[in-house]
């Protein structure tokens, strides 16, 4: 992860339409933004498209970004969030048949049995997270998948740090209950 000073320097260069600087910002944040979008949308192709749109909008509007107001990553998450909201608005008006996509998993390396078990656990966790409330899922993805601080999550979601902590606690308890009911054991005790 690049330091805040490095990110600020890259943003300054990107504001001059330096494609290399923006490319470095893209490389720094693309995986985080993709995971965030994927866990909201649940469709690999749509998530890739929305992630690309996020960075296109960021590039087009880089001059409107003010470094003193919010962190660059928070600005990207906000763009992604708005695109996801627009996506769901469009989807609610369009008739479609849902296709079950499996969540992206790490590339299979090492023991194939461990890879299969990891894929099954990942799918199980993904399905369980879909049963959480929107805010609980968003907090847990930002905190534990994207490894953001409570302050960063609060900034992205537009809520207080206390609300992040409370939502996180309720989300983890609900997730534990869902996973426990589906396996007969306490999932979080095994982790």
**Looking at residue 116, what is its pLDDT?**
55
101 inside domain: no
Segment 24-34 shows an average pLDDT of 93
Range of the domain at 56: 4-93
The verdict on 75 and 15 lying in the same domain is yes
Kindly tell me if the per-residue pLDDT of 36 is higher than 60. yes
**Looking at residue 150, what is its pLDDT?**
92
How many Å apart are CA 117 and CA 113, to the nearest integer? 6
Which of 60, 93, 126 finishes a domain? 93
50 inside domain: yes
Between residues 56 and 130, the one the model is more confident about: 56
**Looking at residue 104, what is its pLDDT?**
52
Render pLDDT for 101-116 as a digit per residue (tens, 0 to 9).
555 554 445 555 565 5
Of the given ranges (44-58, 87-101, 130-144), which has the lowest mean pLDDT? 87-101
Average pLDDT over the chain, rounded to an integer: 81
Report whether 150 contacts 167 (CB < 8 A). no
> Over pLDDT 90: what percentage of the chain?
29
87 inside domain: yes
Segment 121-145 shows an average pLDDT of 83
**Looking at residue 108, what is its pLDDT?**
47
User: H/E/C letters for each residue in 112-177?
Assistant: HHHHHHHHHHHHHHHHHHCCCCHHHHHHHHHHHHCCCCHHHHHHHHCCCHHHHHHHHHHHHHHHHH
16 inside domain: yes
Segment 146-172 shows an average pLDDT of 90
The verdict on 85 and 144 lying in the same domain is no
């Amino acid at each position: 992860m690049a330091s805040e000073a490095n990110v600020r320097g890259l943003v300054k260069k990107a504001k001059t339409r330096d494609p290399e600087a923006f490319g470095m910002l893209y490389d720094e944040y693309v995986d985080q933004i993709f995971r965030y979008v994927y866990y909201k949308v649940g469709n690999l192709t749509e998530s890739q498209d929305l992630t690309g749109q996020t960075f296109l909008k960021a590039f087009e509007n880089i001059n409107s970004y003010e470094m003193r107001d919010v962190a660059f990553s928070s600005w990207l998450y906000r763009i992604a969030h708005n695109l996801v909201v627009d996506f769901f608005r469009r989807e609610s008006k369009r008739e479609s048949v849902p296709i079950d996509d499996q969540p992206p998993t790490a590339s299979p390396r090492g023991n194939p049995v461990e890879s299969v078990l990891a894929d099954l656990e990942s799918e199980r966790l993904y399905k369980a997270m879909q049963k959480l409330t929107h805010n609980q899922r968003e907090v847990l993805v930002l905190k534990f998948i994207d490894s953001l601080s409570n302050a960063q999550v609060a900034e992205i979601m537009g809520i207080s740090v206390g609300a992040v902590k409370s939502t996180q606690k309720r989300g983890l308890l609900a997730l534990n209950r869902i996973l426990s009911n589906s396996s007969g054991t306490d999932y979080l005790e095994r982790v």
